[in-house]
Amino acid sequence: MDNQFKTKLADLCSQAFGDENERKDAIARCANLGLSSREEFILNAIFGPTQENIIVFLRLYETYLPYLRGQKDNGRFIGDWKSANTLIVDSFNLTKVETFGMYLHSLFAWNGQVKYGSSISEVVKKFEEYTSGTFDFTDLSEVWSEAYYRLSLLIVSENLQFLPENIQMLFVGTNMLFESMVFGVNVDKCINQSISYYPVLKIRHELSSAFAVFLYGNDQTIGVNPETGEPTLLAYWIDKFEIFSNKKFDGLSLINFVKEDTTWGTQNDNYVRQVIQSVLMIYGHLVSGYYVTPPTDESVVRISPPEPIEPEVPSHEDIKEMVQEEVVDLSDDDKPAAIIDSLNDISTHYNDPAIADLYYFDEQSNEFKWRE
């Protein structure tokens, strides 16, 4: 299983098919791009360059790099909730070069920053609605469909903490998880940020448990069962490691587990093993409570799960404090819509309509207010 997404573009150019002059031209054009590590990460993930067609990919990089850098189309990007809310997502607009360039520049600028959380969430919701919850843009041509799926995957994985819980669970429960790892996304960090995003420990515990359930139920095959030779689900590896670690899911057991030749058989290559090892580490962190209350020494992985906590709705004051912290960097114009969206998400999570009613519009004063 070769991972071309992590291969340096310069290396692909030096190995490009064709004669010596074509390779020299490819190397020179690559050098002229002057890619930063983040620019190369995004463009490699979106386009997946190969040495066979490097000239085609260089044209794509030369076309879209100025957009990504904000050097074209007046640096247009989605920087506030209002611009995200007014986006028109349809096949006509999606297939415009400047539209895709705007999304690239937005992705580059967002980079997991809290101040863009409401904008990011709104864009992802629009993509979700347009694709009926699949993020497969099947009504577009194959090239555009693949590009927008990969774009969506990067947006979701890099900004997972700002997204509704149903999108978060879709991410860990489908192939989106493995594909993000293939791109080089630090999924462990993404899930950690998604859980620690909430200051209320009860919410962290519940979200961590939900992540573990959906991760265990991931519907994509990964690797081959060494005993049967058949492709197998992630649950197989989790069950196998659970037995090996005596249900501890600790770091030392994981190191020994991956070293065992009997664990893998002969059909699971090194890259598949690395992906499975990474996911098992994440699962261990979820069930041990590591993401909920990390130990001071981050090299130590908890081996004792926290005491089970009965789901309980946090106080209205806790919720108010949490939501106000989320929107602290937004402009006064953007805060009301972002607060309402956040309260609606929490209200749905706890099935408590009263939470959504904590923030309201006072017609007498003509302004939004928190209920006392």
Of the pLDDT bands very low, low, confident and very high (cuts 50, 70, 90), residue 313 is: low
Q: Could you tell me what percent of the chain has a pLDDT over 70?
A: 91
pLDDT reported for residue 39 = 94
What's the full length of the chain, in residues?
A: 372
Q: What is the pLDDT of residues 280-296, one digit of tens each?
A: 999 999 999 999 986 55
Distance between CA atoms of residues 316 and 312, nearest Å: 12
pLDDT tens, position by position, 227-266: 999 999 999 999 999 999 999 998 899 999 999 888 998 8
Residue 204 · residue 195 · CB < 8 Å: yes
Q: What are phi and psi of 223, to 5 degrees?
A: 80, 180
Q: pTM score, two decimals?
A: 0.77
Q: Is the pLDDT of residue 318 over 90?
A: no
pLDDT digits (tens, 9 = 90+) for 140-153: 999 999 999 999 99
DSSP string, 81-143: HHHHHT---SHHHHTSHHHHHHHHHHHHHHTT-GGGHHHHHHHHHHHHHHTTTS---TTS-HH
User: Is residue 345's pLDDT more than 80?
Assistant: no
Of 186, 180, 158, 205, nearest to 305 by C-alpha is 205
Task: State the chain's mean pLDDT as an integer.
Answer: 87
What is the mean pLDDT of the segment spanning 286-313? 58
Transcribe 140-153 into DSSP letters.
S-HHHHHHHHHHHH
